[in-house]
Amino acid sequence: MHKTIFYYNKKELIEEKSEAKEIPMEHYNLWIDIVDPSNEDISTLQKELSINSKALDKIKQKSKKPVVKEIDKNTKFIILLDLKFNDLQHLETTPLYFYVGEKRLVTIHSSKIDLVAKVKTILADRKTILESSVDALYYSIISGFMEDYEQLLTAIELKVFDIEKDAQYRPSRRVLNYLDDLSKQVITLRRHFWDARNVVNYHVNMEKDKDDIKYLQIVYNNINQLIEMIQSYQDTINSTRELFSSSISLQINETMRVLTIFSAIVLPLSLLIGVLGLEGFDLNELHVLPRYLGFLVTVMLVVTIVSLFIFWKKKWIFSYDKELSDKKNKKTSKRDSTEGTV
């Protein structure tokens, strides 16, 4: 177990790596950060810090359900989750436990969360927190975690756009499997965001008379926006699935079109060879060509050319891609001419 103790007021911030010193607490707020405690350490904390036994049971069980529990009028126990993507397919959830009392904040978490560094960054940006109650520090930590949630959505957004291009131009089973994994992660994130919103909503409504609640009012609006955004990403993933199916259908149609055109050209030639080749070739005299061979080759060429010409006139071959390319070149030339005029 690693313990870091902070005493702070509007004049100074004192950091201790060992046990608490004899400091007059009426002039300071206290923040105790505890990292990777064992069950024995947690039991010791119950005696040293007078932490509620039910709250400690939740910590021992490593509960990951975000919740706010009122211990008494001035004391609360809160669970919040730190969310991180390992490879955008595996979401890692790490619980962070808060025990908030009058002029005292206790945080318990694993070493995967560098909370001390995060709080120091927050204090460097918002020095007014040192002048406020311990609730201001607690609310600011929650605000920092909500900002991390927003970064998760940014990673989701970028990957959704990339996978959308792959679904359109390079559809494969890998893309479909990735869409399924991404959809599951989005659904999981949305559930975690709902739980976090419930925690923030509790404070905004139940503690609205506190001066320091201003640190959470904006956070509540932001997390609502995050939930709306993640719902839109879910819709985008669903539409990408439809785009994937359409791309597969287009590929199949293109393949069938090529096979149909090939069959339409080859079948008349096969019929012609069958009719005119009834006499067959003499395998013993291959150097003697049949008298109708020239006529047969001429007819075959004519049939092939006429077939290709008909398919071309119907724009079944050679024309579609060229037409798109011509349109693209025209648009490019118009844009270049407009820029040159300007």
Contact (CB, 8 A) for 42 and 86: no
Domain ranges of the chain: 2-245, 277-332
- What pLDDT is recorded for position 3? 87
- What pLDDT is recorded for position 78? 92
Q: Could you tell me where the DSSP H helices lie in the chain?
A: 39-49, 53-60, 115-125, 134-169, 173-206, 214-276, 293-313, 320-341
Contact (CB, 8 A) for 202 and 78: no
Cα torsion angle, 122, 128, 131, 133, sign = negative
DSSP string, 41-62: HHHHHHHHH---HHHHHHHHTT
CA distance 78 to 69: 6
Beta bridge partners of 14: 7
Residue 132 phi, psi dihedral angles, 5° rounding: -105, -175
Structural tokens at position 295: 């006529």
Per-residue pLDDT of the chain (342 residues; tens, 9 = 90+): 888 888 888 888 888 876 555 555 667 888 889 999 888 888 887 778 888 888 888 888 889 999 998 888 888 999 999 998 877 678 889 999 999 988 889 999 999 999 988 888 888 888 888 888 888 889 889 988 888 888 888 888 888 888 877 777 777 788 888 888 888 888 888 999 999 999 999 888 888 888 778 768 788 888 888 899 888 888 888 888 888 888 888 878 878 877 887 787 777 777 766 665 555 555 456 566 666 667 777 777 887 788 778 777 777 666 555 444 555 555 555 555 554 444
Q: Which architecture characterizes domain 2-245 according to CATH? A: 2-Layer Sandwich (3.30)
- What pLDDT is recorded for position 96? 93
Nearest of 40, 140, 145 to residue 94 by alpha carbon: 145
CA diameter of the chain: 119
Nearest of 29, 60, 41 to residue 2 by alpha carbon: 41
CA distance 188 to 81: 13
Q: What interhelical angle do 214-276 and 173-206 show, nearest 10?
A: 160
Q: Which residues contact 48 (CB under 8 A, 6 or more apart)?
A: none
CA distance 215 to 128: 11
CA distance 157 to 230: 9
Rg, the chain, Cα only: 36
Distances (CA, A) of 151 to 120, 121, 240: 20, 17, 22
- What pLDDT is recorded for position 164? 78
Distances (CA, A) of 111 to 95, 117, 313: 11, 12, 71
- What pLDDT is recorded for position 329? 55
Amino acid at 325: S
Structural tokens at position 88: 């955008």
- What pLDDT is recorded for position 342? 45
